[in-house]
Amino acid sequence: MTVEILTVFPEMFGSVLSASILGRAREQGLLDVRLTDIRPFSKSKHKNTDDYPFGGGAGMVMMAQPIMDAMASAVSRLPGARRIYLGPRGRKLTTEVARELAGEESLILLCGHYEGVDQRALDTCVDEEISIGDYILTGGELAAMVLTDCVARFIPGVLGSAESAEEESFSDGLLEYPQYTRPRDLDGMAVPDVLLNGDHAKIRRWRRRESLAATLRYRPDLLESACLTAEDRKMLKELENECSFEN
Ligand code: 4GY
């Protein structure tokens, strides 16, 4: 998959895209991230990319012209790419949205800054706005990194096939079970016995139960849309009963 990011701060992306799993995905050619600086596209004398808002008010607005030209340039390299603006008005980024975007051949991500972007650029150069959450960042760059990271996990080969994004937690709509590694005893805190006995059917049941228990406790809202078997529902009933004894 190719992701082209339009930004006035391309230097923000280096370490995030080079480290760990994203770095490996890029080395393996599974993910191609291109950073395009919007500034050189400005036709103003000092290569400005922002200007005062019509109607007055604090802060600056990103000018339409440099963005529209940077976008046209990106589209010429990636015809048919899905063009996304990162902003709080958008559809919320979820596992489903990430999976959907991972099915695209290419994405163009537009990062806003300052007080926002001239609405005419948004109206003409993006297909949709996506939000990573209900808060305002200083710019869309961090949101573009979050989106790229979370979409990359759904590209086949980016995670091992065993630990693929489809395998875990949020993909069946439940929270993850607790994980442990060495040592078996950490200052008197033991790893649950069931994980040490090598009974894999039993381990699977225990983990499923822990996933259900964590979800019931921390995010009961997720149970409404989770993918649950008859056995899951039985375990949930038991957990609900146990929990009503505790309270
Ligand atoms: N939240 N989700 C977000 C954001 C910063 C509009 C310019 C968000 O995706 N992007 O806060 N982006 C933008 C917001 C003005 C800065």
Ligand 1 atom closest to the CA of 130, numbered from 1: 9
14 and 123 in a single domain? The answer is yes
pLDDT digits (tens, 9 = 90+) for 44-102: 999 999 999 999 999 999 999 999 999 999 999 999 999 999 999 999 999 999 999 99
pTM of the model: 0.94
Which residue CA neighbors atom 7 of ligand 1 most closely? 116
- Give the residues surrounding ligand 1 with Cβ less than 6 Å away: 86-88, 112-113, 116, 131-133, 135-137, 139-140, 143
Domain assignment present for 167 = no
Tokens 């808002």 found at: 53
pLDDT in tens, the chain (247 residues): 999 999 999 999 999 999 999 999 999 999 999 999 999 999 999 999 999 999 999 999 999 999 999 999 999 999 999 999 999 999 999 999 999 999 999 999 999 998 999 999 999 999 999 999 999 999 999 999 999 999 999 999 999 877 778 766 555 899 999 999 999 999 999 999 999 999 999 999 999 999 999 999 999 999 999 989 999 999 999 999 998 776 5
Compute the chain's Rg from CA coordinates.
23
Closest protein CA for atom 1 of ligand 1: 88
Q: How many residues does the chain have?
A: 247
d(CA 192, CA 169): 20
20: domain range?
2-152
In a domain, 174, yes or no: no
Looking at the domain assignment, is residue 199 inside a domain? Answer: yes
Q: How far is the CA of 97 from the centre of ligand 1 (A)?
A: 17
End residue of a domain, out of 152, 174, 194:
152
Structure tokens at 134: 């209900």
Tokens standing for residue 207: 């983990």
Residue 27 is which amino acid? E
The rounded Å distance from CA 110 to ligand 1 centre is 11
Same structural domain, 10 and 60: yes
Are residues 127 and 48 part of one domain?
A: yes
- Count: domains in the chain: 2
